[in-house]
Structure formats: C-alpha cells, structure tokens
Amino acid sequence: MFRRTILITLAVSLLASGSGLAAPKAGDAGKTNPAGQDPADKADRSQQKREAIDEMASMTMDRLLLESPQAKRLFGKSVGYAVFDNFKVALLVSAGGGVGVAVERETRDKTYMKMGTAGIGLGAGGQSYNVVFLFEDEETLHSFVEKGWHADATATAAAGSKGSNAEASFSHGLAVYQLTNKGLMAHVDISGTKYWKSRKLNEPERRASR
C-alpha cells in the first residue's frame, strides 16, 4: 500500500510539471513575437494607409472633374486612372516622393503605388500637389502598373489652363493633370519622376475601387 501511494504521488507530480510545459504566466497573453512585429498590427496599419490613399484619390478626382470639363470628357473615354499625392521640395536639387493608387474602371481593381522624384530645381521651398493620370487603353494602364513608369522628359497636361479653348486629348495613351492648392495647372512638370507598384500596400490582396 505504501509503495502504491508513492507511485501515485510521483504520477501526480509529473502531470503537474507537464514535462516542462508550464502554464502561461499572467500578462503573457497578447505579447508580440520577440522576433518581429505583430502581423495583425502590421495589417491594420497597411489597411489604414490604403483607406487614406483611397480618400485622397476620391477627393482629387472629384475636384479635377469639377474644375476641368476637358478632363471629364477624357475620363469618360478612359479605361482607368491613377492619382498620386506628392510633396516636392526644391532647393537647387529637388527631391520628393508620394503614394497613390491606380484604378481599372471595368474590373474596379486597385493597385497601390509609390512615386519618387529627383532632379535639378531652380526654386526654393516646398510644394504639395496631386498628379492624375488618365489611361486611354488597357495596354498603357497595365504597363504603368506592372512595369512602372519613368517620366524622363517634361510631361504637359492634356488640359489647357482655365478658360483655354484647346481640345484635350491623350498623348501616347496618357493624359496627365496636376492640381495644387491654387488650382489646376496648365503644364505639368513631372520630369525625373518614377512610379512603381508598392509591394507592401498591395498585401494581402487588392481592394475594390470606389
């Protein structure tokens, strides 16, 4: 009987120890993986960024179509569009960057993108502006999204200045517009600017268009 009691006691001790698997301590729950960032937090931040970009794009498109009848006409013919928000600083050498989204109108697919610019600037100070691309055909849109685009020369907006009688048209499948806090600009200078797909902002999936 005494021997049986000892065996039972040993068995209970082993079960209590869990073979080294101790119960979690209070306060351990919710701790992030020490090797990296909490995936849920990272996904939430990416979603917040996408939503902010979507809101910026929606407001910019509404403003463009309201201010420019020519842009509104071309938009009706376009297969898609892309909107970017950029802050450019010019002090002899200009440098800037921003984010945006390209939207395919038929499928309502979105691709979140980045932009970066660097070149010789003659002015000083900073300028915040939005750039809008309208795409005439699927090939131009898909090439812009999948391969990226580099403006190696000055791009001129298809729309003229306010009150201009010039007809708007696509050039090489594109129409480009630039808006500042002063209004729609007659000429768009995006020379030296590159546009490319953002890997992080397009994970885990694309979002539907507005």
Domains contained in the chain, number: 1
Q: How far is CA 63 from CA 60, 71, 133, 183, 190, in A?
A: 5, 11, 14, 9, 20
CB atoms within 10 A of CB 191: 14
| Residue 49: domain span | 40-197
105-108 contact pairs (CB < 8 A, 24+): 105/78, 105/79, 105/80, 105/81, 105/209, 106/79, 108/208, 108/209
CB 107 within 8 A of CB 204: no
Question: Is residue 144 domain-resident?
Answer: yes
pLDDT tens digit at each of 210 positions of the chain: 444 443 444 343 434 444 343 444 444 444 445 455 676 777 788 899 999 999 999 999 999 999 999 999 999 999 999 999 987 655 555 567 899 999 999 999 999 999 987 665 444 456 788 999 999 999 999 999 999 998 865 454 444 344 333 457 898 899 999 998 888 887 777 777 899 999 999 986 544 444
Question: Is residue 35 domain-resident?
Answer: no
Question: Is residue 123 domain-resident?
Answer: yes
